[in-house]
Structure 1
Amino acid sequence: MLTNNTKMSALLRTPQDEAVLILSSPKRREILKEGPPQNIRNNILGKGAYGTVIKAVYKAKPVAVKIVKNLGDCNHQTMRNESHVLGWKHANIVRIFKVEITMNFAIVIMERFLGHSLQKILDCMELPLKHRVYIGLDVLAALMYCHKRNLLHMDVKPKNVMITWGNNNENWSNKCYTCKLCDFGSSVKITEQTTAVKGIIKGTVRYMAPEALKEEYLHSSADIYSLGMTLWQMKYRHLPYDWLECNEIVAYQVVKNNLRPTACSSQKAANNNNQAIVPSSRQSCYSKTLVDVSKNSLKNVQNILKPPKTTLTSSKGNFDGNHSQKSIRKPFEDLNIVAKSSENVKCNVSRANRMYPDTMFQIGDEAIYVDPIKEQKYDDLYIKCWDNDCSRRPSGKDLRRDLKELL
């Protein structure tokens, strides 16, 4: 029988044999002039519209290097924002060692470790309450550190939370990992004389607070709102508002009608429409920023309800995420699994509360016990975080206290 820590360990470990790219001064100048080096396929950690992230070694330390083509003021500002945390040392923030910007390319050199993003973890496994709380506390510690130094992150979401195996600083016996907040490209600096800032923010629309969508004055409570969305997603494993196709609709409904994500709405979408949609085909939709949305007209926007697929796909073949036989289900044998469903694999907590005082759900080879009372308190916490009135959202200290009470 596999334990939570065994499964998490298997997911976070990565191969040790890799080609070494030394980031000497000449090599950095070459990258800044010509872009990512050729023949580095095995060194690529990620690639997308933002640029390329590769593995390398800098001053005898394993690092990740983000290489971004300098296409205009927007990219230029993003790279400058990354430098807000340059040289910071905090256990829950990915360290930035160097930021260099030229007319052609820009690079960010940051720490590298064994692990994956929280989004990938959620795509592969369900998290019991205690681990959702552990992760929430780690992210909150990073945010409180930023806020104390007059910095708003403004893009808190599972993709920007890295989970690395080991380094448990809280002395929790069943926590063998550390969460690190990354990607400060949307961060905003607040001056010591003010407690708020106003302007166009680049955060991801589906995690943004209403005041950010309206380009109003922003406080640290805007990050608390995004953390609340992340707490919700850790429980239900849906992308926020996954029953809505367009970010324009999401932004409008959040601002005008106080829309918030619910597991019930996602399930109704699945029940009302038999046509499946692959999340990867909507990736650009979920990652769009407010700047991207403002460029599009709402004239022809439609509210499209489409259900998620119910299968997972890997190099070993397809299998049903809910009904696979234990004898053939090997969740972490192949780490190239692509999640085709963000469907919640647990029963609704209120339903569990009606049926059993303490309900056990079997997930893969591991039993997960659900305490309906604590789950309801967890729900109440993230609902407080996304209150439409930013003054009624909990402070970092209050949220930390309430999360610890769930352990």
Structure 2
Amino acid sequence: MTAIQRSEIKINPNDKLGEGSFGAVYKGKYQGEDVAIKIINYNIEHEHIQREPFYMAMVSGHANFVKLHAVVMEKTETLLVMEYIDGGSLFRFLHNTKEELTYSQAINLLCQAAEALAYLHAISERPVIHRDVKSLNMLVDAERKSLKICDFGFVRQSGTEMTEKRGTPVYMAPEVFKGKMYTSKCDVYSMGITIWEVLARKIPYYNLKKELQIKYIIEIDKGLRPSLDDLKFDCPDQLKTFIQRCWDKDPNVRPTMQQVVHELRKHKNV
């Protein structure tokens, strides 16, 4: 991780790529290359600012995480200068375009996401947990062949105090709503929802109104899940059953992320 001066980068304020945890992301230039620049204002706890580049540096050896090129630290804000991915978020591709996604392409992208998260969980003695796994935090290239996980704002190591409700409600495991400790199985639950989302090409709980979010959080805790009837592909029953295991209410029933990788690999090139 390289510390640089703000004068070494150029930010295009009119080209906002999105909102990450704790800051907005813009397209810019660094050393003549396109980059994504996340601007984190100092209106949040300092430890949050330090954690994101720390964990990004930790996974720099894995191809399916967005790379951190440099950091700009100023009095009022920190800027993360990151790899720019030209295809945008997987969420945008799924829900805002009409481009085709084949079953093979879908499984390939999901497998890459699971491989990255399995690596994150196994990188240290205590699992490191992403805590905001969703299609919006997965970036794809223009050809939809490669996927990279982004946004490390909520990442924490297992065993640290993590009872605060971090993440996106429709992807969050039921135990998180109850203020229980996060474990790697929370990421597995979110991955299960994301697998469904990609294979159904629908937003989770698309048929429920956003203003009723509190109500469906209660229903999710009672067992409400997306309908497997929405899956667009002729998915094997084995995969459907596995998705249900991923989003089971009981974390002990859920597989590990490495088991998710193993299952998805079985369905590649089918």
Superposed pair shares fold, TM > 0.5: yes
User: 1 CA distance for matches of 2:100 and 2:244?
Assistant: 21
Question: C-alpha displacement at 1:404, in angstroms?
Answer: 1.7
How much has 1:244 moved relative to structure 2?
3.6
Distance of 2:244 and 2:118 partners within structure 1: 19
Partner of 2:91: 119
CA-CA distance at 1:62 after TM superposition: 3.2
Which residue of the partner structure matches residue 184 of structure 1?
152
Q: State the Cα deviation string for residues 105-138 of structure 1 (Å, max 9, x = none).
A: 2211111132221111112245332222111110
Q: Aligned ranges for residues 188-203 of structure 1 at < 5 Å?
A: 188-190=156-158, 194=159, 198-203=162-167
Q: 2:69 aligns with which of 86, 97, 111?
A: 97
Query: For 1:277-324, what per-residue CA distance to the aligned partner results, in whole angstroms no more than 9, with x for missing partners?
Result: xxxxxxxxxxxxxxxxxxxxxxxxxxxxxxxxxxxxxxxxxxxxxxxx
Aligned to 1:220: 184
Give the 3-state SS of the residue equivalent to 2:141 in structure 1.
strand
Contact 1:79 1:99 in 2 (8 A): no
Supply the distance in 2 between the matched residues of 1:219 and 1:153 (Cα, whole angstroms): 10
Q: 1:67-216 to 2 correspondence within 5 Å?
A: 67-73=39-45, 76-83=46-53, 84-86=55-57, 88-123=60-95, 124=97, 125-149=99-123, 150-165=127-142, 177-190=145-158, 194=159, 198-216=162-180
Number of matched pairs? 257
Q: Is the 8 A contact 2:65 2:148 kept in 1?
A: yes
In structure 1, the residue matched to 2:251 is: 390
Partner of 1:98, secondary structure, is strand
Rounded to whole Å, the distance in 2 between the matches of 1:201 and 1:45 is 25
CA contact (8 A) 2:71 2:80 kept: yes
Please state whether the residue corresponding to 2:244 is helix, strand or coil: helix
Amino acid at match of 1:380: T
Deviation at 1:98?
3.2
Structure 1 residue runs of 4+, over 6 Å off? none
C-alpha contact (below 8 Å) 1:244/1:250 kept by paired residues: no
What is the CA–CA distance in structure 1 between the aligned matches of 2:226 and 2:231, rounded to whole Å?
A: 17
3-state SS in 1 of match to 2:69: strand
**What pairs with 1:169-318 in structure 2 (closer than 5 Å)?**
177-190=145-158, 194=159, 198-242=162-206, 243-245=208-210, 246-255=212-221, 257-262=222-227
**Shift of the alpha carbon at 1:224?**
0.8
- SS of aligned partner of 1:241: coil
Q: Which residue, 229, 237, 248 being the options, matches 1:376?
A: 237
**Bigger CA radius of gyration:** 1
Q: Note the C-alpha offset of 1:159.
A: 0.6
The alpha-carbon deviation at position 345 of structure 1 amounts to 9.4
Residue of structure 2 in register with 1:400 after alignment: 261
Question: TM-score normalized by structure 1?
Answer: 0.57
The gaps in structure 1 that reach 5 residues or longer are: 1-22, 167-175, 265-343, 347-369
Q: What residue identity is the alignment partner of 1:85?
A: M
Q: Which consecutive unaligned segments of at least 5 residues does structure 2 have?
A: none
Question: In 2, distance between residues paired with 1:112 and 1:220?
Answer: 28
Asked if 2 retains the 8 angstrom alpha-carbon contact of 1:100 and 1:108, the reply is: yes
**2:24 equivalent to 1:52:** yes
8 Å Cα contact 1:127-1:235 kept in structure 2: no
Q: Are residues 251 and 78 of structure 1, via their aligned partners in 2, closer, same or farther at CA, if it must alter by over 3 Å?
A: farther
Check conservation: 2:131, 2:167, Cα contact below 8 A. Answer: yes
The sequence identity of aligned pairs, in percent, is 28
Give the number of the structure with larger relative contact order, counting CA–CA contacts within 8 Å between residues 6 or more apart.
2
Where does residue 302 of structure 1 map in the other structure? none
Paired position in structure 2 for 1:25: 5
**Distance between the aligned counterparts of 1:399 and 1:112, measured in 2?**
27
State the one-letter code of the partner of 2:217.
A
Q: State the TM-score, normalizing by the size of structure 2.
A: 0.82
- What is the CA-CA distance between 1:41 and the residue it aligns to? 4.7
